[in-house]
Structure 1
Amino acid sequence: FDLETSNMATIIHVPSEDQFLCSICLDVFTDPVTTSCGHNFCKKCITAHWDNSDQYLCPMCKMVFNPRPELHVNTFISEMVEQFRQNSRQEVNSSSSELRAAKAGEVPCDVCTASKLKALKSCLVCLTSYCDAHLQPHLTVSGLSRHQLIDPVENLEDRMCREHNKALELLYKSDRTCVCMICTVLDHKNHNIVPLKEEYERVRAELRRTGIQEIQRSVELSVEVYTALMESVQRSLNQFKEKIQEKQRTTEKQAEDVIKELEQEICELEKRSTEFGLENGMESSVTLLERIFDVVFYYLIGFQTFQENAFSSALFRQWEELVQLQTVRQFMTNFCIFENC
C-alpha cells in the first residue's frame, strides 16, 4: 500500500499535459468522464459526439456501448486537472516576471505596481509607457488606438512641446531647435525644417562614417609606424652585418700575417739546420727540435693573444690547428732528415 501511494504521489506531482488532453477537443479536460473501456473525455465533448451519432461508441477504441452509458464526472481526474492548471498558471506567471521584468537601462511600465515589467511602447498622448498587458487597451479600444505610440523612452515630458502640448517631431536645422507641427505653422515659417527622426538617422550615419574613417586612419598610421620601424631594424641589421664582415676580413688578414711569419721562421730554421750539417749527431737534432718547439710555442702564445682580441674564436681554432699541423709536419720532416729516415 505504501509503495502504491508513493507511486500515485509521484504521478500527481509530475503531471504531463498529454495526460489531461481530451482526444475530441484536443484541450485540457473540462468535467472529465471515463467510459467503461477506460478512456477519458470532456463530458460535453463525448455527449455531443453521441448525440450526433447513430451508435454509442468510444472515439478512441471504437468499442460500442448499448444502451447509452450514463456518464459521471471522474472526481479523481478532475482534481488532477485542476492541480495541473494551477501549476501551469504559476509557471507562466513566474516565467513572465523573469523574462519581461525591466532591467537596468530599460524603460519600465508606468502602470505596473508590483514588479515593474519592461515597457513595449510609450504613448505621446498619455505620456505613459506600457508593458504588453497594459498596452492592450491602446490596441483594442477605438478611442485609444488613435494615440501616437513610439518605442519606449524615459522622460516623455521632455519630448512634448511645452507651448502646444504636442510631440516634438520636427527640427529647425538653422538653430537646431526641436518643434512640433503647430510651431512650424505659427512661428518659424522660413526655417529649414526636417523631420526629427530623419535628422537623427542622418547624424547617426555620419557619426558611423566618421568612426569608420577614424579607424581607417588609425590603421594607416599603425602601418606607417610599423613600416618605419622595420626599415630602421633593417638598417641596423645591415650596419651590424657590415661590421661583422669588416671584423672578419681584419681577423683573416691578421691570421694570414701570423701564419706567414711562422712559415718564414720555420724556413729560417730549416735553412740553418741544413747549413749546420749532420756532424753534431743526435745533440743537433735535439737542439733543433727544441728550437722548433720554442718558435711554435712563441707564435702560438702570440696568436692566442691575437685571438682574444679577434672577433671569432672559431676562426682562431681553425688557424691554430692549421699552424700546428704544418709545424708538426715540418718537424717530422726535419727529424727524419737528421735521423736518416
Structure 2
Amino acid sequence: MAESVFDPEGPLNCPICLNLLQDPVTTSCGHSFCMDCINKLWDREANRGVYSCPTCRMRFNKRPALSRTKVLADILEGMKQEAPAGPGDVTCDVCTGRKLKAIRSCLVCMASYCQTHLRPHYESEAFKKHKLVEASPNLQQQICPQHHKALEVYCHDDRKCVCVVCMVNEHSGHRMVSAADAMAQIQEELKIKQRDFLQLINDRDGVVQQSEEKLDLFKRSAQAAVEHSDNIFSEIICSIQKRQAEVRENIRAQENKEVRDAENHIQTLEKEICELQEENGKLEQLLETEDHIYFFQNYSFSSGSVQYNSSRDVNNLTFERAEQCLSELKNHLDEVCEEHMGRILNKVADVRIFKETERFQSIHQSEMEAGMEVQIWDIDDDFIYG
C-alpha cells in the first residue's frame, strides 16, 4: 500500500489499512475502501455468513456488491502523478512539509496550487469566478502595481495590459479589448507568421537536401579529379622516365663506340710510333757511319719503307650540345606545364557548389523587409566537374 500523506481518518484513506485508497470501491452504505482490503475482510467473515461495514458496522445477510468510485479513483490517480517540486518549479503555497509542484496559479488568491489543493477551485462555488492561469513564479507581474487588480484588459494605443481601474482612469478613451481577446487576435497573426516560418523551414529543408546531394557529388567529383590527376602525372612521369632512359642509353652507347674507336686509334698510333722509332734508329746509324760500303748496303733497305697514316682530327669532344638540347627541352616543358597548370587551376577554381541568384536575392530582400534577417543561397544548377 502507498504511504499515507493525509490524516488516517481522512476521506482519501482506507479505514482498514489507513493508507491512501488503492483501487477504491464503495459499499451500499456509502463507505469507501481499498478493494483488496474489503475483500480480504469479507473473505474471513464468509464462514459466519454475515458481512458488516468496518466503518458503520452495518450488517448484510449476503455479501454486498462493490461499486468502483471513478471520481475518487481519478483524484487518487492525479495524486500519484504529483511530484515534489524540483529546482525551477513553482511550488504549491498550501502544501506543508513536502512541497509539491504547482500546476495552476490563481490571480484572485495570489497563490499557486498543486493538483490536490486546486480541487476547491473546481468543486466549490466560492471559487468559480477566480482567475486561474498556468503556474507562474511571478504572480506579481500579472497584477497592476498601482491598483492591485489583475491585468485583464489590453490597451491597443499603449500596447500594454492594464487593470479595469486603469481602463477607466489613465486609459480612458483608448481602444480597449480584453487581454484574452487581444492575445487570441495576436496569436492568429502569429499563426500566419508561423506558417511563413514553416514554409521557409520547408524551403530550407529542400535546399539542405539538395545541398547535401550536391556536396556528395562534389566530393566524389573532387576524388575522381585527384585520382585522374595522379594517373595523368604518373603517365607523364613514366613517359619522361622512359625518354630519360632512352637518352641515357644513347649517351652510353655513343660513349662506348667513340671510346672504343679512340682506344683503337691510340693503339694504332702507338704501334706506328714504335715502328717510326725503330726506323729512326736505323737512320741514325746510317747518318753516323763513315763506312760507305755499309751505308749503301743498308740505304736501299730503309728508304721509303715506312708508311704513315694521316692523323684523325678530334671533333665534338663533349656532350655539351646535347646537354643544351636537354636544357631547352626542360625549359620548354616548364613553359608548357606553366601554361596548362594556369588553365587547370582556373578550371578547378570554377567548380563551385553555391551561387547567389537573383531569385533568392529577391526572397532575401522580402525577408529583410519582414524583419527576418535570414540569408539564403541557391544551389548552382550548372555544377559539374569539368
- Coarse TM-score class (shorter-chain normalised): 0.3 to 0.5
- Normalization by structure 1: what TM-score? 0.42
Q: TM-score, normalised by structure 2?
A: 0.38
User: Which structure: greater helix fraction?
Assistant: 1
